[in-house]
Amino acid sequence: MTIHREGYKSIGIGTLIFGAINLTMYFFFSASIMWLCNIVFILTLGLLLFLISFFRIPNRKLTISENAIVAPADGKVVVIEETTDEEYFKDKRLQVSIFMSPANVHVNRNPISGEVVYNQYHKGKYLVAWHPKSSTENERHSVVIRKNNTEILVKQIAGALAKRIVNYLQVGQKVNQTDEMGFIKFGSRVDLLLPPGTRVNVELNQAVQGGVTVIATL
């Protein structure tokens, strides 16, 4: 397991706060209320470890397959339905949405190899990530990757806690399946918009792993 580069600053700040709180507690109160110092230490250590775990990148055997669309994120499948895309395709698409809890790995990966033909950031609200309107009203970053004659839209969506979306891709860039496409800090959601008729390999409420689980087959 490694730590994602997006976490260096947050973990550094968290470590400084952890040290400051506990040094203060033990310096001023250890002689009189040692039990309280120990409780504060355990609680703050737990929060620091959670912060570190949030930015983890576990060692995995990633799925590389010419015909597969792999999960762009860890989480739970919360939507599989036909929808009308008003942003890019202007027609019906098959939407598969993955909800990412704060406990999930939050690095986002390219579901296919291909060329980035669209990349757009949208300001928006911060509705809870499972809200039906979060796909169109929340802060989000949309990317379309084209492979041969197939285009897939990947939408990184901020949630009530996630208020920073990072995207590394640029229009015209050639990308490889399972390489990092971005990162969303704290609980959030990722939508995939697939061609109508795409054969989906997952079910509602199924837990998926980013870069590993095959969401659908081209």
Which residues are marked as active site?
Answer: 188
β-bridge mates for residue 119, sequence order: 143
CA atoms of 204 and 214, how far apart (whole Å): 14
The DSSP letter of residue 125 is B
β-bridge mates for residue 152, sequence order: 145
| AA letter at 37 | C
CA atoms of 15 and 33, how far apart (whole Å): 24
